[in-house]
Chains A and B, each alone.
Chain A
Amino acid sequence: MIEAIKQKEALIKSLSSQKDIFNKIRKYSALGLVVSLILAFIFMFVLRPLGTGLFILTLVIVVAVGVLSLLDYIWKCRIKGAEDSHRRLIYDFEHPDHPLVDEKVNIVRKALNSVKNFFSKPSNIIVFVFAIVLSIMVLFPLGKLFLNTFQVGTRDETRLINEEWGTSLSMGDWTLLNWPMLLFPKSKDYASWSLSFFWKPLGNSVAMSLLACTIAVVFGGAFAWLITRSNIPCKKFISTVFIFPYIMPSWSLAMFWENFFKNSASAQSPGVGMLQSMTRWMTASGVGICAPEWLIYGLIPTAICLGMHYAPFAYILIGGILRNMDANLEEAATILKASKFKILRRITLPIVAPAMISTILLVFSSSLSTFTVPDKLRFSSISITLRSLLSTAGFKRMGYVVAVILMIFSILILTLNNWFTKSRRNFTTVSGKSGQITKTDLKKAKWPIAVFAIILVIFTSIVPLLSFVLESLEENSGDLSTLTLKYWTSSQQFDSFIASKNISTQGVFHNSAIWGAFGRSIIVAVFVALIAGTCGILIGYAVSKNRRGKLANFVSSVAFLPYLIPALSFGAVYYSLIKIPAFSFLDISTTTKQASAVGICIIIGMVKFLPFASRTGTNAMLQVSGEIEEAAVITGCPWHKRMTRILFPIQKSSFISGYLLPFISCMREYTLFILVTSEVTLITNVLQYFTKNGLGQLANAINLLIVVFVIGANFLVNKLTGASIDKGIGG
């Protein structure tokens, strides 16, 4: 017996040391993976063969990490088995009269008991249900998208691959060649295409995203500091108005940018914009100030618009930390006679660093895959390539490859974000909230800074709204002498061709197409918000109760995945779903009823916007001490009462904020729903339809309606419940 125990101990020791080796190799491989990927990316622009080699190396490392993880898992199981057996031997040795044989006999009962025990906890049931539901609704589309990259689906896709690689594939065959076709084609012609059509746009997008991050962090961070840590006047106004650009659709900012800066001197932008129109009196020739081309279209304006759009995001994240940080740290430094700069450098910045990094990573990820802003401001980004590939015969599968690459970027970024934010969680848990926050006295600079800040927020938040108002009132864009109310009040049809399709083109107040679509958009947004928000709370609850559980982590991660899937690809997957006869009741082309389109939009929106709600729900639940619920459990309070009477009221404002985010996102969404709606289903459909058909005044009026409605809803909810979008984002 002793000999057997000793053997087991030796086995455990040997297995553990082997496992340590796997772990070490895995860690170095992961590090190598990141380095290799970065180097590969850099070398693709400088020395392509080396870049190609590094990419292959990256793929090899990915496979290696996977294998090592598997080995690690197997070894873990082996060690656990050896340990159990070791324990049993010791027990039998110590209790020779009561061996553990019974345990083996009752293994079935034991398994049943553990299953019963597992499902006795509501949080486990939630986790289990969501694991299945999300696997079907998220992993399935995702997997399908991924598998699509390994197949040639149409004749042209097959022809393209065969033409380049000399293969003899047939339609429907599985192949790896879609990837090298896009990334490292063999022939010179395709290599130059790959460089200009994939690598350069990817580089452009990276540059655009980095610039947008910088603008968002600098702009948002500075305002966060001014509002939370200084005595700047008009704080309420600045902080309220500052988040408008985040509430607005990003493309409406791009629309504003073009409206504002376009001018008669620009080759790309015909027409006169607000700036030129307002400054005619300033120039002797009466032409007005004409912004240079690079300020209207291209990298700079695209990055500025995205930066402006995401600056409130940075403001909320960094502001949240600055507001909650322990002021004693800074006070202690002040007492020790540290200079302001030193305090900023050694205390404030390190504390806000995780939030800044979070902002940078999330803004980077969102900007990288954004389509509407670069499209409007004519910047060759990777999302334009994606859209083009998806719409060109023979290139669709390569479009899927781009979509997967964008997702890989996002997943890497998310992993980095999770890694960085660990330190943030530690900080807030330890310190808690401080009642005393020392405000920096701006002294004489107080008012000039306030005026500058107000001008800035007015430009980014109020002027866009003003431009939509003006554009909806001007007969000729940019010409204030042609102001008219007819695009709001007239019952005349402004486009007889569109009207002949039974789509009203009357003034906004008389326009049945606008109001019908607006109503449907509200219905979709409300249902999406209710369902996604509630699911978010449930996921948050379940995850917070099973923080170390693998299944809970799985649910939490999968719930976030839709954030990483490009909207058009996501919509396309659900479009395929409604073509299955069982789901045809959701297909507007089958039922001819707008209700069908509304139904499928609710489903798609619910899944796509779940990440916002689940993150908010999880953050909110993690802030609630487990003891509160435990006390209720002891008193025999059932689960639904604990949720509705205790947990929800405690974190009411955060939860409601979790409902607000999907609501707002849904109200302004277009690309996600385009395949499952008609031209008049949702308000964004009507907006795009009118824009394409030259009804610019009506389109601007709709834009204004959307923005005002969303801001109004946020304001109303804030007043009624204390919840707001910033709580949703900040957690």
Chain B
Amino acid sequence: MKEKKSFGNKVLDYIKGNPIVAMLTVVSIIVGMTVDNFFSWNNLSNLISNTAIRFIIALGVSGCLITKGTDLSAGRQVGLAACLSGILVQRADYSGRLFANLPEFNMFAALLIVIVLGAVIGGINGLIISRLKVPPFITTLGTQTIVYGLCLVLTNAQPIGGFAAGYTKLITGRIGDVKSFNLPYLLFVAIFFGFLFWFLYNKMRHGKYMYAIGGNEIAAEVSGVNTAKSLTLIYITAGIMYAIAGWLLAAKSGGASASMGQGYELEAIAGCTIGGVSTTGGIGTVSGVLVGVLVFELLKIVLQFLGVNPYYNYIVQGLVIVVAVALDIRKNIKKK
């Protein structure tokens, strides 16, 4: 057992352990060699920007999944945060303003406001789940609908545009030149949150408690973990992450509407699961979440470059989710 593994063997082990990731990498390389512009700075920065926001959402949802819960309200929360951010930062001189009497907010003030809102919604989710013991699936199914309703009421189903110039510019900004080497600012935002969550999950009590609750909630409670408090904090953290993602998304898109963020919860859950977050609780890493989300985004771009009819995308994505989880579970069965 103690034999030293060569680099080649390690690579082989990784491929065996993560066949979907390996397969997709190979497909990408093939596509890259046969299709023009696949390996381009532009495409890379596109991939990074798309991945960054979804990574932030997936980080939020990962805590819920690790504690055997889920959060179906993620996407709609992103949408609400995007709309509210949009409303707050609309230019004072923009003719289509939704709330004409509202002052134009500083973009960071807007961020703060949506974060507070996200924390409140997450807190409500968390309290219902941890105190009233309503299963997370049902709780967040309910809040998903409520949040969407709030968003429709708030926006009156109108699209929101006319953002203050600095807002869009900052979020879509990049280091370097669009045509050649460039790295979008969003990359650094994603790295920051990735590191923050790694620290939270590995170096703080909160993370250990989270894994313990996922491993055996009653045992965690008996060991002195205030499970209700931990769970509430996990859903609050999740809400905050959705809010930040929504704020980023509105700026990246240059506009917002109530339909924004629809289905993002499923993409985030899929990304986490592909990345090895176990559906039976107690297992999951930040790096895994990143890989999972990246794989999913890469898959979308590959399909796009191959010129596949976008309607087929959903079919392929769905298959990848099921196959990835089936393979993951097989891996665990074999260990028995």
Q: Report whether chain A binds chain B.
A: no
A: residues with CB less than 8 A from B are none
